[in-house]
């Protein structure tokens, strides 16, 4: 900077000051640029670290073996609309809960000639409900441990009774998921093993005994093995996998022989004989349909689809007091903004394998709506009515619908109470 009117000394001072100011500016800008570079570099490195970590996790999950081996499956179509006989109502809200905290998961029911009702629970126990609603322990199917009922890890030790019926001799016939088919004295609780899971049928052991029915004409016991791979405590994997690994079988008490009636079934669950015992109905839970298997007549030994693409996943099927079939729906299958979860993943085995790796079994319950639904079918399989509890006020996830002496008992696999309806609101 040159100023002619100023002295050389003054000019030098000004030049020195300008140099110092310019140097300070350069230094400050350098620091600012350095800081920006440092921040940008840190962000970039942080993002890269996160990406690398996520990539490592993804690769690790990919390399982990999946517990399931699903096949692609496409359901028949979207679930039916909630209209006509399926229209929403509140008929299931007109009941009460019994034995809260005492009965945990009363899944299926039967009654003796004296009017007592029997049921099995998740802790491996078999109970008698008296006419005065008294509760009496009949027997423990396995070991009676403090942990029974609190964790599914102990089910193979404690037992889990599913289907239960009374035979012609007044004995209880019980299908235990882990211990096989038993006869139980309802008075003493003494158990007699009929067929062990390890014995199975046709060189295939049982893994998940479930539904049960007894012919009043022949005494033959019909029962289902829901899967040859998964036990009761892994039922969610069985549903997601959607493979046809189940069977319908019969046991003849006279010959003590087991016969495979149907195989390659999709999680066969509840079964019921028609009033004339010409056929039985069978629920295939994981695929949402009901089969009819003919026992007599020209179609004997054959099966046909009675109901498909159902509004929910059927569990047990029972005869009502007024000559219809009642179907407990364990999980509804409703059309909302998006298709039902199981519908969406059904065609994609890779998605199923991934979900089975990363999602704990207990978290799948969060995907299930708290909704109760019962279907009423005519003898030819036509839908004649439904009962709903849209908010789950009384119950949800119904496993059985058993009518006895004017009362309707609603089963469940895990709920800590027994819902009942007094009368039948039709």
pLDDT digits (tens, 9 = 90+) for 350-390: 999 999 999 888 788 777 889 999 999 999 999 999 999 99
Q: Which of 322, 305, 329 is nearest to 386 (CA)?
A: 329
Query: What are the tens digits of pLDDT across the range 44-89?
Result: 657 677 666 666 656 666 668 899 999 898 888 889 999 999 999 9
The pLDDT score that the predictor gives to residue 43 is 56
The pLDDT score that the predictor gives to residue 107 is 97
Query: What are the tens digits of pLDDT across the range 215-248?
Result: 999 999 999 999 999 999 999 999 999 999 999 9
Interior angle at CA 105, CA 103 and CA 110, nearest 5: 80
On the CB side of 155, CA atoms within 13 Å amount to 21
pLDDT, average across residues 4-33: 41
Residue 251 has pLDDT above 50, yes or no: yes
Helix axes 349-358, 8-63, angle to 10 degrees: 100
Strand, helix or coil for residue 32: helix
Average pLDDT, the chain: 88
Report residue 23's pLDDT band, with 50, 70 and 90 as the boundaries.
very low
User: Is the torsion defined by CA of 85, 86, 89, 93 positive or negative?
Assistant: positive
The pLDDT score that the predictor gives to residue 56 is 62
- Which range among 49-53, 122-126, 197-201, 271-275 shows the weakest confidence by mean pLDDT? 49-53
């Amino acid at each position: 900077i040159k100023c002619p009117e100023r002295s050389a000394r003054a000019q030098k001072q000004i030049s020195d000051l300008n140099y110092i100011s310019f140097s300070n500016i350069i230094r400050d800008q350098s620091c600012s640029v350095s800081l920006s570079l440092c921040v940008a570099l840190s962000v970039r490195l942080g993002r890269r670290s996160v990406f690398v970590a996520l990539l490592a996790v993804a690769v690790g999950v990919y390399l982990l073996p999946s517990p399931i081996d699903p096949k692609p499956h496409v359901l028949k179509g979207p679930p039916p609309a909630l209209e006509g006989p399926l229209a929403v109502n509140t008929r299931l809200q007109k009941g009460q809960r019994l034995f809260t905290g005492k009965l945990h998961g009363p899944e299926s029911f039967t009654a003796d000639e004296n009017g007592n009702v029997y049921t099995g629970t998740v802790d491996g126990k078999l109970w008698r409900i008296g006419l005065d609603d008294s509760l009496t322990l009949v027997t423990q199917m396995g070991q009676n441990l403090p942990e029974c009922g609190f964790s599914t890890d102990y089910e193979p030790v404690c037992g889990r009774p599913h289907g239960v019926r009374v035979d012609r001799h007044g004995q209880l016939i019980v299908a235990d998921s882990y211990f096989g088919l038993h006869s139980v004295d309802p008075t003493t609780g003494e158990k007699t093993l009929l067929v062990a899971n390890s014995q199975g049928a046709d060189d295939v052991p049982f893994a998940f005994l479930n539904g049960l029915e007894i012919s009043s004409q022949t005494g033959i016991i019909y029962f289902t093995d829901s899967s040859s791979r998964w036990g009761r405590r892994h039922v969610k994997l069985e549903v997601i996998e959607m493979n046809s690994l189940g069977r319908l079988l019969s046991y003849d008490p006279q010959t003590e022989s087991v016969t495979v009636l149907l195989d390659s079934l999709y999680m066969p669950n509840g079964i019921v004989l028609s009033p004339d015992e010409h056929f039985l109905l069978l629920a295939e839970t994981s695929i949402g349909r009901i089969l009819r298997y003919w026992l007599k007549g020209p179609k004997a030994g054959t099966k046909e689809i009675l109901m498909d693409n159902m509004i929910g996943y059927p569990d047990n099927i029972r005869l009502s007091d007024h000559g219809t079939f009642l179907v407990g729906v364990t999980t509804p299958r409703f059309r909302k903004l998006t298709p039902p979860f199981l519908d969406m993943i059904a065609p994609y085995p890779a998605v199923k394998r991934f979900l089975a790796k990363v999602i704990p079994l207990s978290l799948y319950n969060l995907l299930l709506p708290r909704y109760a639904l019962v279907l009423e079918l005519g003898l030819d399989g036509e839908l004649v009515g439904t009962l709903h509890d849209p908010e789950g006020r009384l119950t949800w996830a119904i496993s059985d619908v058993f009518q006895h002496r004017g009362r309707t008992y609603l089963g469940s696999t895990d709920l800590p109470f027994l819902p009942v309806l007094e009368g039948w609101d039709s």
